[in-house]
Structure 1
């Protein structure tokens, strides 16, 4: 299940980004759901987390979402990066949209829950947002 989830997740990242990152993926039963670290490790625990949407979310953590640099750009529940804000507004067409965030996650398009994905566009927009966030945090 993990291999299938990662294969599909990586197919989207490889299609819609040019980001390169070495990943180390493992099954760790003590992990409640799944987690990803900027060092490139992704650990899956729960069977319910072994899907491509969760895998894409965890890949985003390996790419800098939730890093110290990411958290430093969160103010009052908003990720303040100019590239990410501009990208979100280009996606939605709403010039007042803001990228909401805590120190670990962003939304919309953070794929924090599998229910956030309705179409392939949501996956493409996730990739676009990760690219913009990486620009903002200097990755």
Structure 2
């Protein structure tokens, strides 16, 4: 935070702190992943972004929620990394662990983890509307664990 934060910055950081606290409560409950994060408010960022180096930047107020925070945390954990993108073929993430995990969640042996080079679905939390119950958050965590196994993280 700035040495003498404005009212806008104080409000943004309060929202970001609340979002990150809730997001991390889910990751800490449902995973054993450890990662040092550096979170900041950058008004020029259109929504929010996360990087494998551990940085997460929030810009728009509408992105300062726990679902977006969980999505951005997934980027710091390897989703969207070079290794992730290398496992995407024709819109499908080809990792065995992630595919197996998705099928265990859905009970459908033909389900595939859809992906582009940066995101996966279902359970990627790419939009806040994807979350209906806590199960969606738990399943997101399960998928991130499996993707990390596939990409060697």
Q: Which range, TM-score by smaller chain?
A: over 0.9
Moved over 2 A (4+): none
**Which segments of 5 or more consecutive residues in structure 1 lack a partner in the other structure?**
none
CA distance in 1, matches of 2:44, 2:117: 23
Aligned length: 139
Greater Rg over alpha carbons, structure = 2
| Secondary structure of the corresponding residue to residue 39 of structure 2 | strand
Shift of 1:27: 0.0
- State TM-score, norm by structure 1: 1.00
CA distance in 1, matches of 2:51, 2:42: 14
CA distance in 2, matches of 1:71, 1:62: 14
CA distance in 2, matches of 1:75, 1:51: 31
Deviation per CA, 1:27-70, whole angstroms, max 9, x where unpaired?
A: 00000000000000000000000000000000000000000000
- State TM-score, norm by structure 2: 0.91
Shift of 1:23: 0.0
CA distance in 2, matches of 1:71, 1:30: 26
